[in-house]
Amino acid sequence: MRDALPTAAGRMPVLFVGHGSPMNAIEDNQWSRGFRDLAALLPRPRAILAVSAHWYANGTFVTGNERPETIHDFGGFPQPLYEVEYPAPGDVALAQRVVRLLGEDRAFLREDWGLDHGTWSVLVHLRPEADIPVVQLSLDYRQGAAAHLALGRSLAALREEGVLVLGSGNIVHNLRHAMTSAHRGELATPAWAAAFDADVAKALEQGDGAFLARAADGDAFRMAHPTPDHYLPLLYVAGAAAPGEAVRFPVTGFDLASLSMRAVLIG
């Protein structure tokens, strides 16, 4: 794999990936191929800070493991998915740096978590060699959208230190609707899903963080996200972005009719 050239002044880009089904980790499909294509757009980072929808916790925590466990946090899938291991090393010094940036009064190290599928189902394609240290950051479910965006801004300095800030979730994630549509054989993306996805994409292009935070209120959001966990990682990526940076969408489209698979690369 060839890595792309570093961005201006050596600053790492920021990346959000719509990770979708855990099966994308082991299947050859348009989404897994899209994830592999993403790898060619990225400089080689010194380390990765992953913010996954699947560590939705009562607090802000950072993995402090030297060897983070591969967590299979799902049920009912084929056995080969449970056999996937992603043996990337941790980075305790980076974890401690993240705690300091976020504030030692509100962020804490933990060693009882590892890399959940929101992180490793993407990284098996982006960095299949598992040769880059990975630290994972939790989502505090007690905090509102504006607070998560602010935490993302606090992490922006990491980009100058060779750290890739990676968010993993989905811009539209109403799983009940998606599974019902699949069961019924409905393939058309509903207007509400397309509209929310397009509005968020426009706000990202305009660097409108206020809209992204405000979008987490109202009926449109509740339809797109019955729970906010898959949306919040995007706010860390948007928060860590600098004004005026180029915004690209290297993966777009919907899986299961209404699950947005949009990826966002900034910088």
Q: Cα–Cα distance between 62 and 116 in angstroms, integer?
A: 13
Domain coverage including residue 120: 8-266
Question: Which whole number is the average pLDDT over 123-131?
Answer: 98
Q: Angle between the 92-102 and 145-154 helix axes, to the nearest 10 degrees?
A: 120
Range with the lowest mean pLDDT among 4-13, 62-71, 104-113, 195-204?
4-13
148 with 235: CB under 8 angstroms?
A: yes
pLDDT of residue 67: 97
Q: Report the candidate in 151, 122, 153, 109 with the shortest Cα–Cα distance to residue 50.
A: 122
pLDDT in tens, 71-93: 999 999 999 999 999 999 999 99
- Is residue 3 a part of any domain in this protein? no
- Is residue 118 a part of any domain in this protein? yes
Which CATH number does the domain housing residue 72 bear?
A: 3.40.830.10
- Is residue 233 a part of any domain in this protein? yes
- Is residue 1 a part of any domain in this protein? no
pLDDT in tens, 185-227: 888 999 999 999 999 999 999 999 999 999 999 899 999 999 9
pLDDT of residue 1: 38
* Mean predicted lDDT score pLDDT of the chain: 95
Neighbour-count burial of 158, counting CB atoms closer than 10 A to its CB (0-12 exposed, 13-18 middle, 19+ buried): buried
Q: Cα–Cα distance between 166 and 156 in angstroms, integer?
A: 12
Q: Cα–Cα distance between 6 and 127 in angstroms, integer?
A: 16
Count of domains observed in the chain: 1
- Is residue 2 a part of any domain in this protein? no
Query: How far is residue 235 from each of residues 171, 200, 249, 258, 264, measured CA to CA in Å?
Result: 10, 11, 16, 21, 11
| Residues ≥6 apart with Cβ < 8 Å to 119 | 50, 52, 54, 86, 134, 136, 166, 168
pLDDT of residue 9: 52
Q: Cα–Cα distance between 94 and 105 in angstroms, integer?
A: 17
- Is residue 135 a part of any domain in this protein? yes
pLDDT of residue 187: 84
Q: Report the candidate in 163, 175, 167 with the shortest Cα–Cα distance to residue 200.
A: 167
Percent of the chain with pLDDT over 90: 91
pLDDT of residue 24: 98
Q: Cα–Cα distance between 56 and 148 in angstroms, integer?
A: 12
Q: What is the pTM of this model?
A: 0.95
For the cut 70, the answer to whether the pLDDT of residue 173 exceeds it is yes
- Is residue 40 a part of any domain in this protein? yes
- Is residue 56 a part of any domain in this protein? yes
- Within the chain, strands assigned E span 14-18, 47-57, 60-63, 107-110, 134-140, 163-169, 247-251, 254-255, 259-260, 263-266
What H or E segment, with its residue span, contains residue 126? helix 117-126
pLDDT of residue 10: 83
- Degrees to nearest 5, angle at CA 133 with 164 and 263: 35
